Amino acid sequence: MSKQKDLPLLRPEAAAPCCEPLADHSISTADAIALAPAFKALGDPIRLQLLSQIASAPEGETCVCDLNVGFDVSGPTISHHLKVLREAGLIEGERRGTWVYYSAVREKMTALAGLLVTAEPAAVA
């Protein structure tokens, strides 16, 4: 049985972003290098679905044994995609016995979301 974690709901405006939104300011080279692997990892539909399943898990984490459901790929392929997400800093895993439980790194997700925030254009009268 997994232990329940109470994760705070983060709002993009409440979190400290790594950098200013693209619509406000050009991103620095350092920030681009730091965030590009996460965006690249999310460019694959399976990884995007895996992150969605992990981030939306009711207890804030999910067992790897529950992530194979709904995919037409092998277990080793799922493991590869989880490794890419982990190396990109989007998820973290904790081994418990023979299983690994994954949780989303919400700070990284918030940084990515904050970078893509755009203001509503001013109304033209």
58-76 pLDDT, tens digit each: 999 999 998 877 888 998 9
Q: What is the pLDDT of residue 6?
A: 43
Using the structure block, give the residue that is written with the tokens 């984490």.
Answer: 61
CA angle 76, 80, 83 (to 5 degrees): 135
Specify the pTM.
0.75
Domain range for residue 41? 29-115
Domain-located, residue 2: no
How many independent structural domains does the chain possess? 1
Residue 40 within any structural domain of the chain: yes
18 assigned to some structural domain: no
In the three-class reduction of DSSP (H, G, I as helix; E, B as strand; rest coil), residue 43 is classed as coil
Q: How far, CA to CA in Å, does 84 sit from each of 4, 27, 38?
A: 25, 24, 9
The answer to whether residue 5 is domain-embedded is no
- Give a yes or no: residue 42 inside a domain: yes
Contacts of 5 (CB under 8 A, 6+ apart): 59, 60, 61, 103
In CATH, what number is assigned to the domain containing residue 97? Answer: 1.10.10.10
Residue 1 lies in a domain: no
Across the strands, what pairs with 102?
62, 93
- For the stretch 7-49, pLDDT in tens is 444 444 444 445 666 666 788 888 889 889 999 999 999 999 9
121 within domain boundaries: no
